[in-house]
Structure 1
Amino acid sequence: MAGKVAVAALNRSGKYAILADDRIAPFTEMFDEDGEETADISVAVTAVAKHPDGLWIVIALGEWESVTLH
C-alpha cells in the first residue's frame, strides 16, 4: 500500500482516525506547532497513526473541523 489513505473522520477524544473502509487507525504520536511531541490533543497540529495494514499515516489535524452533537 503506497500513496494516499482515505481518512473519513477523526475522533479527537479517542485519539484515532476512522478510515474510509471503516477500519480504525490509533494515534501513536501527536505534535504541536513547534514540532514538539504532545499528549494534549487541543494543541496538537499533526498526528501519526498506525494503519491496520502496518504502515504509518501522518494526519494534519488542522484540516479537520470539530463537530458538536446536541
Structure 2
Amino acid sequence: MVKIRLMGAMAHLAGAKEVNIKIEEPKTVDEILREVIRGYDKLHDKIIFVNGKVARGDAIVHDSDEIKVMPVLSGG
C-alpha cells in the first residue's frame, strides 16, 4: 500500500488529505499522482517527498512507500 499525503491545493483537488493505493508493480510518482490528483499535469509548482526525502516526478515508488506532496508557498 502506498500512502499519499496531500497538502493545500493538492488535497483540495484530490478530495482528501490522505489516500492509500495498492500498486502491483513499481511506478513513478507522476504516474501515481495522475491517478489521484485531478489536473495533476497542470500543477508545476510542487514539492514532492518519497519516504521523507525530496524527490522528482520520475522517482520510482514501490508498494509500501510514502509520498507527500505540497504546493510551493510564496509570499511577501
User: What TM-score does the superposition give when structure 1 sets the normalisation length?
Assistant: 0.32
Q: Which has the higher contact order (CA 8 A, sep 6+)?
A: 2
Higher helix share goes to which structure?
2
User: What TM-score does the superposition give when structure 2 sets the normalisation length?
Assistant: 0.31
